[in-house]
């Protein structure tokens, strides 16, 4: 990354595909990450152990039938493009099967890169808003720094203080959220914060939540049918089995495809620009 100008870094960030490209990844999420037998996974798997469904070409043998095969957790997972970055850039196309001495480092770096790419995606989205124009300079700086970090070598990546970097990014995202939702906030600027578990299984059909922050909220199995969720901050919200049928999420922000994939919805659900209706919503 040495010698790359800030403008070039920013252009790279804007062009990053924040979706997984499995054809250019060495199945890292299928090996590096652990999971426990549950409603989301069919069996227990330790970190560093290849999933039983991972083929020799690093592709999943049940990818088209993950939900039916009791691997719903895989169906809603998103690495935000970290898999192909680690595989093709950080480790320069050397895979963990033919280069076993790199395996541990690769599996350690992958979740770090996943966090960096997720932060980079949110920052890039934050730069698309006009309401927070006063923050754009700071956002571009943290975008440039985050992008620079993603090009570090594996030895340097594992040494970064990811929590400290996330805190700096989060401060700007919080400010952005309030600016984007400013017309819906109380005049004194003090909005009631969502408590972690208050919406699990809650009956919220038809409720009006326009301009609310659901940052980190547990909306698991919540009934949000026909709810007004416009201009809501959805960063980190857990939408597993939340029923969004007929809900209006127009202009909601910091929302990911993985969150949408984890929820229930239908053809009447209005999603933010750039997000797609999952196949299981069309049934």
What is the number of other CB atoms lying within 10 angstroms of the CB of residue 43? 12
- The single-letter DSSP state of residue 254 is S
Contacts of 164 (CB under 8 A, 6+ apart): none
- Per the listing, tokens 């039983």 go with 52
On the question of pLDDT at 223 being above 80, the answer is: yes
On the question of pLDDT at 14 being above 60, the answer is: no
- Per the listing, tokens 């499995």 go with 22
Q: What is the pLDDT of residues 82-135, one digit of tens each?
A: 999 999 999 999 999 999 999 999 999 999 999 999 999 999 999 999 999 999
On the question of pLDDT at 4 being above 90, the answer is: no
- The single-letter DSSP state of residue 49 is S
247-265 burial: b if 16+ Cβ within 10 Å, else e: bbbeebbbbbbbbbbbbbb
pLDDT at residue 198 in the model: 79
Rounded mean pLDDT, 61-79: 93
What's the whole-model pTM score?
A: 0.90
Q: Give the chain's mean pLDDT.
A: 92
Rounded mean pLDDT, 163-191: 92
pLDDT at residue 195 in the model: 63
Structure tokens at 184: 């819906």
pLDDT at residue 15 in the model: 55
Taking a C-beta distance cutoff of 8 angstroms, is the pair 9, 72 a contact?
A: no
Query: Percent of the chain, pLDDT > 90?
Result: 86
On the question of pLDDT at 201 being above 90, the answer is: yes
On the question of pLDDT at 6 being above 70, the answer is: no
Sign for the pseudo-dihedral over CA of 165, 229, 136, 192: negative
């Amino acid at each position: 990354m040495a010698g790359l100008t800030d403008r070039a870094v920013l252009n790279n960030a804007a062009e990053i595909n924040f979706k997984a490209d499995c054809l250019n990844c060495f199945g890292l999420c299928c090996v590096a990450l652990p999971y426990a037998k549950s409603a989301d996974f069919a069996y227990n798997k330790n970190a560093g152990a290849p999933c039983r469904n991972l083929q020799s070409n690093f592709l999943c043998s049940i990818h088209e039938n993950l939900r039916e095969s009791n691997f719903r957790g895989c169906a809603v997972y998103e690495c935000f493009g970290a898999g192909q970055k680690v595989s093709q850039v950080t480790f320069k196309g050397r895979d963990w099967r033919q280069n076993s001495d790199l395996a541990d480092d690769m599996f350690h770096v992958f979740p770090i890169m996943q966090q960096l790419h997720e932060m980079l995606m949110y920052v890039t989205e934050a730069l698309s808003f006009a309401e927070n124009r006063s923050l754009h300079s700071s956002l571009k700086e943290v975008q440039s720094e985050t992008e620079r970090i993603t090009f570090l070598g594996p030895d340097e990546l594992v040494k970064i203080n990811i929590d400290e970097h996330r805190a700096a990014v989060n401060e700007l995202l919080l400010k952005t959220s309030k600016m984007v939702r400013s017309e819906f906030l109380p005049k004194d600027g003090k909005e009631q914060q969502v408590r972690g578990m208050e919406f699990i299984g809650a009956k919220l059909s038809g409720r009006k939540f326009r301009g609310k922050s659901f940052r980190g909220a547990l909306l698991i199995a919540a009934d949000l049918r026909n709810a007004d969720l416009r201009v809501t901050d959805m960063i980190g919200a857990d939408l597993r089995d939340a029923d969004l049928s007929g809900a209006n999420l127009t202009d909601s922000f910091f929302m990911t495809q993985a969150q949408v994939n984890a929820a229930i919805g239908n053809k009447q659900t209005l999603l933010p620009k750039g997000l797609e209706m999952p196949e299981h919503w069309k049934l």
